[in-house]
Amino acid sequence: MKLKSSNRFPRFFLLGLIGLVLLLVLFNPIKKKQSKYPEAPKIEKTTSLNALQLTFNEKSFKKIKDKRFKALSKGVLETSDEDYVPATVTFQGESYKAEVRLKGDWTDHLVGDKWSFRVKLKGDETILGMRKFSIHHPQTRGFFYTAEWLYLKAIKREGLMGLRYDYVEGSIHVKGKNASNSINKNVGIYALEETFDKRTIESNSGKESVILKFSEDNFWNEVGKSIEVGSSMGYKWGDFMNYDLVSKTKYQILPFSEEKIVLDSTMFKYFRLSRKLLEDVYLNKRPIHEAFDVKKLAMQNAILNLFGAAHGTYIINLRFYYNPITSRLEPIAFDGNSGLKLKKYEHFLFLDKEKDTVYLKELAYALDKVRRPEYLNTLVAQYKDEMAAYEKTLKKEFFSKGFQKANLEYNQEVIKTELLRLKNKLDLNDIVIEADEPVGDIKIPEPSQWVNNKTILSGLPQKFQKQSVYKISRNSTTAPSYSVIANNKVNNGKQYRTSVILKKGDVGSLFGLRVQGDFPNRLDAIFDLANGKVKQTSTGGNFDNINATMKPLGDGWYQCVLSGTIKTSNVKIILGPTSGERQSKNWEGVTSQNGNVYIIPSSLKLEEVSE
């Protein structure tokens, strides 16, 4: 007889196995996978600004750090959509899922702990109406901080397209496996800047369409190669940069949100139409007024010059909106580095001064508006309280003087000079420019106020005739080198005498001096400080009656004098060391070696010669 089998052993075995699993779970808990969008801790604010926090998990932050290290090693940051990592953005107590990457081109965006980031919120979420925006050190938009903020306010005040711009208190949190592994840093004040998408257009009351830009790839490829060669040879990368190649390159015209544009038949049609308009102007096949809303382009250029925002004129910083109602392009103000004094009036990059008279007339009327003292005074008064509140907070972290109204007043004088040129060129008799009072003594500013372009002006301990001695040196052999004293008001049509005391330097003995009005009007001379002779003189435009002399003063010092008839109301004095390779008409150009000269800045004078 067969015995019935027992189930006791399997049952006991199964119970034991379950108990073992429970013990393993109890004493060896399963590692919890980190969330792509980690929970953000509470923000501890230290300023009156809104707080914005980025929270990463460890894996995502490691990818960010690795990208930063690579950029610092190479000298530039190269980015793509593959660089985005998941993060949680916290703003005003609300948390948002986002994709985040480093941003910026130069590594000034990656210094210290205050790294620059590009942020794209997930879904249709927005912060201050923006789904895409950047945060960066305020200094990456200029040393005058609130000047960029006011520039964009001025743009929108005129009904032009600009970006939303604000300041926030920033912090970074990295969620570790436990509290001891987490990182929490308050990194100080960020500038928050809108980036380009359909909400940019909506915030500027535009109809949905495309935004165009020129590809930056060629420029940054050349920069990258130059840095690599320069670093390996121990030289500055700029000595190897092929600017001539870059300037002659045909830049590809691209839309923002390219993938979405291609998939939308209406948007793709807008892109093809707008690309053709921009390309024709870029290649000089079509006048500006046939492609652009010239009133808006002119006013944007006028305000850009008022704020010294010349950085926004570079081809890789140009942004344009295609208005499908008018079938014209409109500029979008971007990345001006505002608040600086102008070196010269900065025109729209693709201007043909002879062909684009329709645009130039509109520009003249825009300049006539912004050059007036009441225009600037009203603008500053309107935003005075907001700016004061920002600057009070910014000054706790930064040492900049902040917005300097005097710099914009200086720029208004540059604008007035350009307006006078356009008025005369285009016979705009309806523009009335108040006659200036006769100019008396001309005060040359202190050396610290001179604009040095590839030159170094350094004070020395010695004196000559109880006056301080400086050394002025070229510091580039691959680019023009000179110092500028701009905006010297003179009496139109009068004879003027420019003089300065000089002595031969350690390297080289030739010195160039120029008195310049609107191009090509100028007087030039090269002085040979080794032989005490004027090497060469030349005139340009309608300046005439040139004369140059040298008077020995002892111990190798000379009083060098350049005189002539000046047919304008405002001139620049341009000066610096040169070499025997150069002619007087282009003495500031490229040389085979650097040179220097001793100069007494306080001796520099510009004086009207009595008849």
Whether 129 and 171 map to the same domain: the answer is yes
- The DSSP symbol for 234 reads T
What is the number of other CB atoms lying within 10 angstroms of the CB of residue 393? 16
Alpha-carbon distance 164 to 405, whole Å? 22
Whether 131 and 245 map to the same domain: the answer is no
Does residue 313 belong to any structural domain of this protein?
yes
Does residue 15 belong to any structural domain of this protein?
no
Alpha-carbon distance 589 to 494, whole Å? 29
For tokens 């002619």, the residue is 583
For tokens 């108990």, the residue is 19
Does residue 330 belong to any structural domain of this protein?
yes
Q: Is 564 helix (H, G, I), strand (E, B) or coil?
A: strand
Residue finishing a domain among 145, 162, 195: 195
- Report how far apart, in Å, the C-alpha atoms of 129 and of each of 51, 83, 180, 199, 515 are: 16, 24, 36, 8, 51
Is there a contact between 328 and 320 (Cβ–Cβ < 8 Å)? no
Whether 226 and 186 map to the same domain: the answer is no
- Report how far apart, in Å, the C-alpha atoms of 5 and of each of 1, 10, 17, 568 are: 12, 11, 22, 119
Q: Is 369 helix (H, G, I), strand (E, B) or coil?
A: helix
The whole-angstrom distance between residue 331's C-alpha and the CA centroid of its chain comes to 16
Does residue 557 belong to any structural domain of this protein?
yes
| Both structure tokens of 164 | 């939303």
Q: Which of 513, 450, 517, 525 is nearest to 490 (CA)?
A: 517
Residue finishing a domain among 195, 225, 242: 195
Q: Report the run of H or E that residue 547 belongs to, with start and end.
A: strand 544-554
Whether 367 and 499 map to the same domain: the answer is no
Alpha-carbon distance 140 to 148, whole Å? 10
Whether 220 and 340 map to the same domain: the answer is yes
Whether 451 and 528 map to the same domain: the answer is yes
Whether 476 and 523 map to the same domain: the answer is yes
Alpha-carbon distance 371 to 306, whole Å? 8
Does residue 386 belong to any structural domain of this protein?
yes
Rg (CA), the chain: 31
Threshold 0.75, pTM exceeds: no
The CATH number assigned to the domain holding 491 equals 2.60.120.260
Does residue 433 belong to any structural domain of this protein?
no
The whole-number pLDDT of residue 392 equals: 92
Provide the terminal-to-terminal Cα distance of the chain, rounded to the nearest Å. 146
**Which domain does 552 fall in, by range?**
447-608
Sequence-distant (≥ 6) Cβ neighbours of residue 499 within 8 angstroms: 559, 560, 561, 562, 603, 604, 605, 607
Whether 261 and 124 map to the same domain: the answer is no
The whole-number pLDDT of residue 164 equals: 96
Which segments in the chain show pLDDT lower than 70? 1-34, 179-180, 219-249, 435-439, 611
Alpha-carbon distance 303 to 161, whole Å? 12
Strand order in the sheet with 596-608: 455-464, 467-474, 596-608, 494-504, 557-566, 544-554
Whether 239 and 362 map to the same domain: the answer is yes
Whether 522 and 601 map to the same domain: the answer is yes
Does residue 422 belong to any structural domain of this protein?
yes
Q: Domains in the chain: how many in total? A: 3
Sequence-distant (≥ 6) Cβ neighbours of residue 158 within 8 angstroms: 299, 303
The whole-number pLDDT of residue 223 equals: 62
Alpha-carbon distance 85 to 119, whole Å? 10
The whole-angstrom distance between residue 290's C-alpha and the CA centroid of its chain comes to 28
- Report how far apart, in Å, the C-alpha atoms of 16 and of each of 7, 19, 25, 240, 251 are: 14, 5, 14, 75, 73
Tell me the three-class secondary structure of 317-337, residue by residue.
HCEEEEECCCCEEEEECCCCC
What is the number of other CB atoms lying within 10 angstroms of the CB of residue 319? 20
Which is it for strands 51-57 and 165-175: parallel, antiparallel or unpaired?
parallel
The whole-number pLDDT of residue 6 equals: 46
- Angle of helix 357-370 relative to helix 373-382, nearest 10 degrees? 70
For tokens 């170094």, the residue is 456
Does residue 278 belong to any structural domain of this protein?
yes
Residue finishing a domain among 167, 195, 223: 195
- The DSSP symbol for 258 reads H
Is there a contact between 196 and 332 (Cβ–Cβ < 8 Å)? yes
